[in-house]
C-alpha cells in the first residue's frame, strides 16, 4: 500500500496510540473529579496544554481543547462575533476550508461578508485584501496552508495589514494544514486552529489558540470545562495521544520536513516527465512540504483515483470534506484552473511514513495508467 492522502488524515503514531490507550484503560479518570487519580489526569492534561502552547509560542491559558479543526474554526468565528457589539464586515477568501467558508456564507444575512482574491498559485492576494478592509471590518479568517494546493500564506504580513487598516478587527488563522509543517508564531494572529489527526495524533481532538485579552464567548456550554469556553467531559485519551504525537514531531521535525519535501520533489520530478501533466499551485519547492496538486490532461481525476486504488495507491481529488460533492472545485476555480485541467486534478499529500522509493513506484503506476486511460478520452 502507498498512502498519499495525508492531508485527509494521517496514520496514528504508535506512541500516540499507546498514550491514548493508557488514558482509556488505566488512567481513565475524569479530570474534573476531586480524588487523587483524577487530579493526576488533570495534571497530565495541563502538561499537554503547556507543551502545545509552547510549540505555538503562546501560553497555556490561551489553549482551548476541542474535537478538531471544524469545531475550532466554528468556535473561533461564532465565539468572537458573539462577544462583539453590533454588526460589520467579515472577510475570508474563496479558497478556505468548508468549516470556515460555509460558516461565513451562513452569516451573510447578518454581516457584510466579503471574499479577498487569491493569485494563480492560490496564495491570498494582499492587494485584494487591502481593498476589502475598512474601519468597519470586524473579523478576518485566512488559512495558513491551503489544504488542496499547499500554497502558504504570509500570515505575519496579513496580520500587520489587518491591524493597520482595521485596528479593531480580529484575525483567525486556520492552521490545520500548517501546524508543525511550516514555521509559525501564534503571536501573528488572534485565533489559531489545529487538528491532532493531521500530525499523526488520534482523530476527534484538536485545539484553538485564543490570544490573551481577546473578547471571546467560546463554544458549547454546560459543565464549564476549558475555563467555561468549551464544555464537555475532557477527552483525556485524545489530548494525551495528540500530545505524544506533538512531542515526537517536535523532536524529529527537521528530519520529517526533509523527508516529506524529498518525497514531494521526487514525485513531481517523475510526473513532470510525462506528457500533458501540469502543477496546480506554487512550484513544488515553494509550497508546503507535504502537499502537491497536479493535473493529468485527458483523464478525469476521479477515474485515475479509482484506477490507482486498484493498485493500492491512495490519492484524492481534493478536500476529504468535499469528496462526495459533485460539481466544480471552488479552490481551483478561484485560482483560474478550469476545464480539462480542473477535471484532471489530483492531490498527493505526504507524511513521515512515505519514502522516495514509493514515489518512483507511484509515478510508474500513473505513467502506465495514463497510457491506457487516455485512449478513452472524450472527443
Q: Residues with catalytic annotation?
A: 321
C-alpha R_g of the chain: 21
Three-state secondary-structure class, residue 338? coil
CA distance 201 to 243: 8
Give the SS3 label for residue 329. coil
Contacts of 272 (CB under 8 A, 6+ apart): 279
Q: How would you label 288-319 residue by residue, b for 16+ Cβ within 10 Å and e otherwise?
A: bbbbbbbbbbbbbbebbbebbeeeebbbbbbb
Q: Which cell is 98 given?
A: 468548508
Instruction: For residue 197, give the H/E element and its range.
Output: none
Distance CA 208, CA 72 (A): 5
C-alpha cell at 67: 474535537
| Helix (H/G/I), strand (E/B), else coil: 315 | coil
35: which residues sit within 8 A by CB, 6+ positions away? Answer: 29
Instruction: Supply φ then ψ for residue 145, to 5 degrees.
Output: -130, 130
The cell for 174 is 486556520
Which among 266, 280, 278, 293 has a CA at the least distance from the CA of 363?
A: 266
Residue 356, Cα to own-chain centre: how many angstroms? 24
Q: How far apart, in whole angstroms, are the C-alpha atoms of residue 151 and residue 174?
A: 13
Neighbouring C-beta atoms of residue 77, cutoff 10 Å: 23
DSSP string covering 60-78: GGGEEEESSHHHHHHHHHH
Cell of 272: 513532470
Q: What angle do CA 186, 188, 193 make, to 5 degrees?
A: 45
Amino acid at each position: 500500500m502507498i498512502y498519499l492522502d495525508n492531508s485527509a488524515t494521517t496514520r496514528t503514531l504508535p506512541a500516540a496510540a499507546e498514550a491514548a490507550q493508557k488514558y482509556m484503560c488505566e488512567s481513565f479518570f475524569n479530570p474534573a473529579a476531586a480524588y487523587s487519580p483524577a487530579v493526576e489526569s488533570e495534571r497530565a492534561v495541563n502538561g499537554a496544554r503547556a507543551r502545545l502552547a509552547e510549540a505555538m509560542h503562546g501560553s497555556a491559558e490561551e489553549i482551548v481543547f476541542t474535537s478538531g479543526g471544524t469545531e475550532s474554526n466554528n468556535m473561533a468565528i461564532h465565539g468572537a462575533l458573539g462577544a462583539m457589539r453590533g454588526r460589520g464586515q467579515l472577510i475570508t477568501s474563496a479558497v478556505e476550508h468548508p468549516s470556515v467558508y460555509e460558516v461565513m456564507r451562513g452569516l451573510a444575512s447578518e454581516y457584510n461578508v466579503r471574499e479577498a482574491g487569491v493569485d494563480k498559485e492560490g496564495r491570498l492576494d494582499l492587494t485584494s485584501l487591502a481593498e476589502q478592509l475598512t474601519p468597519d471590518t470586524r473579523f478576518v479568517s485566512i488559512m495558513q496552508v491551503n489544504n488542496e494546493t499547499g500554497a502558504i500564506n504570509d500570515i505575519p504580513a496579513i496580520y500587520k495589514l489587518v491591524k493597520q487598516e482595521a485596528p479593531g478587527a480580529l484575525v483567525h488563522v486556520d492552521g490545520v494544514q500548517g501546524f508543525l509543517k511550516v514555521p509559525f508564531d501564534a503571536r501573528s494572529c488572534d485565533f489559531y486552529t489545529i487538528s491532532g489527526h493531521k500530525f499523526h495524533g488520534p482523530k476527534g481532538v484538536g485545539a484553538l489558540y485564543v490570544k490573551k485579552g481577546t473578547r471571546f464567548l467560546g463554544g458549547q456550554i454546560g459543565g464549564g470545562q476549558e475555563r467555561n469556553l468549551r464544555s464537555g467531559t475532557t477527552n483525556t485519551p485524545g489530548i494525551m495521544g495528540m500530545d505524544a504525537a506533538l512531542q515526537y514531531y517536535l523532536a524529529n521535525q527537521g528530519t520529517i520536513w526533509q523527508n516529506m519535501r524529498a518525497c514531494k520533489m521526487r514525485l513531481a520530478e517523475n510526473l513532470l516527465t510525462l506528457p500533458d501533466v501540469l502543477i496546480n499551485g506554487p512550484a513544488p519547492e515553494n509550497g508546503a512540504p507535504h502537499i502537491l496538486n497536479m493535473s493529468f490532461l485527458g483523464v478525469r481525476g476521479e477515474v485515475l483515483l479509482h484506477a490507482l486504488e486498484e493498485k493500492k495507491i491512495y490519492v484524492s481529488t481534493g478536500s476529504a470534506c468535499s469528496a462526495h460533492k459533485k460539481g466544480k472545485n471552488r479552490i481551483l476555480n478561484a485560482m483560474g484552473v478550469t476545464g480539462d485541467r480542473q477535471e484532471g486534478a489530483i492531490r498527493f499529500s505526504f507524511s513521515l511514513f512515505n519514502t522516495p522509493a514509493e514515489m518512483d513506484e507511484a509515478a510508474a503506476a500513473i505513467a502506465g495508467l495514463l497510457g491506457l486511460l487516455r485512449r478513452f478520452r472524450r472527443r
